[in-house]
Amino acid sequence: MELFDLHGKVAIVTGGNGGIGLGIARGLAQAGADIAVAARNPDKTRMAVEQLGGLGVRAVGVHVDVTDATQIQKMVADSVDALGGVDILVANAGMSIRKRPETYSIDEWSTVVTTNLTGVFACCHAVYPQLKARGGGKIVTIGSMTSIFGLDMGAPYAATKGGVVQLTRSLASAWARDNIQVNCILPGWIDTELTQGARRAMPRLDESVVDRTPQKRWGRPEDLAGAALFYCAAASDFVTGTSLAVDGGFSSSMF
Ligand code: NDP
C-alpha cells in the first residue's frame, strides 16, 4: 500500500478556487487525485482548474454556494458525473464578518453560521452516501486558531470554528463503521484574501501575527498541503476525529 498516493481518487474541495483551498487542492493533485473545485466565483474557479490540470490530473469546476443545500446536492452530483465518483471531501469554504459582538445583527450572525458550520455539515451529509458506496473515504474539515482561542472581533466565526471541531468528532464517531475518516485542520494565520481583508481593517495585525507566531512568519496556502494529504491518504487510515494545528507553533506558545 502506498501511504501517500492518491492516484485513482477523486476529491471535492469547497472553496478550492483560492487561498487555503487551492493550496490543499494543489497538494492533493500533486499526489495524483482528480479534483472538483467547488465555489461561487466562475473566473477564479476557471483559473484554479487550469492550474490543477497543469499538474497532470483531471480537474473540473463545479458551482456551489454552500449556504444552499440544494446546490450542495448538485455539487456532489456534478462531481460524480464529471469524475466518476467521490472519495474525499475537503470542506474548506468559509468566511467571516469582523466586528464587536454587540454590533452584529442576527442576520450577520446567521450568515457566518450558515456558511461555516451548517455549510460544512451539509457538504458532509451530501457526500456521505457516495463515500459509503465506495467502501470508505476521507473528510477533512477546516477549523482555526479560534477553535481554541476566543476572538473579540469574530464571535460567530469562533463559535462556528469551535463547532467544526465537535462536528468532526461526531461524524468521525458515527461514520467509523463505514470506513470514513473525518479529521480537522486548524490553520494558524495564513496569507490569503480572507486575512488580507483583516490586515486592511487592523493595521497592526501584520506585525502582531509575526511577533506572536514562534516560526516568525505568516503561513502560506501550500503549508496546509502536507497535513491535508496525510488526512486524505491511506497514511491516516486509523486516524479519525482528530485536529491538527498547522500554525507555526502559535497554539503551543504562550507568547
Ligand atoms: P479565502 O477568502 O481566500 O477563500 C475562501 C474560499 O471559500 C474561496 O474559495 C471562496 O470562493 C469560498 N467560499 C466562501 N464562501 C462560500 C460560499 N458561500 N459558497 C461556496 N464557496 C464559498 O479564505 P481562506 O483561504 O483564508 O479560508 C479558507 C478556510 O480556511 C475558511 O474556512 C477559513 O475560515 C479557514 N481559515 C483561514 C485562516 C487564514 O488565516 N487565512 C485561518 C484559519 C482558518 P468563492 O468566493 O468563489 O465562492
Each of the 255 residues of the chain gets a pLDDT tens digit; together they read 799 999 999 999 999 999 999 999 999 999 999 999 999 999 999 999 999 999 999 999 999 999 999 999 999 999 999 999 999 999 999 999 999 999 999 999 999 999 999 999 999 999 999 999 999 999 999 999 999 999 999 999 999 999 999 999 999 999 999 999 999 999 999 999 999 988 988 889 999 999 999 999 999 999 999 999 999 999 999 999 999 999 999 999 998
| Residue 157 CA, closest ligand 1 atom number | 34
21 lines ligand 1 (CB under 6 A): yes
pLDDT given at position 201: 82
Q: In the chain, which residue ranges form alpha helices assigned H by DSSP?
A: 19-30, 42-53, 69-83, 106-113, 119-133, 155-175, 193-201, 205-212, 225-232
Q: What is the residue extent of each domain of the chain?
A: 10-246
Cβ pair 251, 148 in contact under 8 A: yes
Q: Look at the block and give the residue holding cell 455539487.
A: 75
66 lines ligand 1 (CB under 6 A): yes
- Going 108 to 94 to 98 to 45, the CA torsion angle's sign is negative
44 lines ligand 1 (CB under 6 A): yes
pLDDT given at position 249: 98
pLDDT given at position 203: 86
pLDDT given at position 1: 76
How far does the centroid of ligand 1 lie from the alpha carbon of residue 46, in Å?
17
120 lines ligand 1 (CB under 6 A): no
pLDDT given at position 255: 87
Q: Which residue has its alpha carbon closest to ligand 1 atom 41?
A: 190
- Going 246 to 140 to 148 to 192, the CA torsion angle's sign is positive
CATH architecture of 10-246: 3-Layer(aba) Sandwich (3.40)
pLDDT given at position 30: 98
Whose CA is closest to 140, among 32, 9, 14?
14
> Would you name the residues annotated as active-site residues?
157
Q: Which residue has its alpha carbon closest to ligand 1 atom 12?
A: 15
Q: How far apart are CA 217 and CA 144, in angstroms?
A: 17
Choose the residue to mutate in 192, 220, 243 for probing ligand 1, maximizing ligand atoms within 8 Å of C-beta. 192
248 lines ligand 1 (CB under 6 A): no
| Residue 96 CA, closest ligand 1 atom number | 34
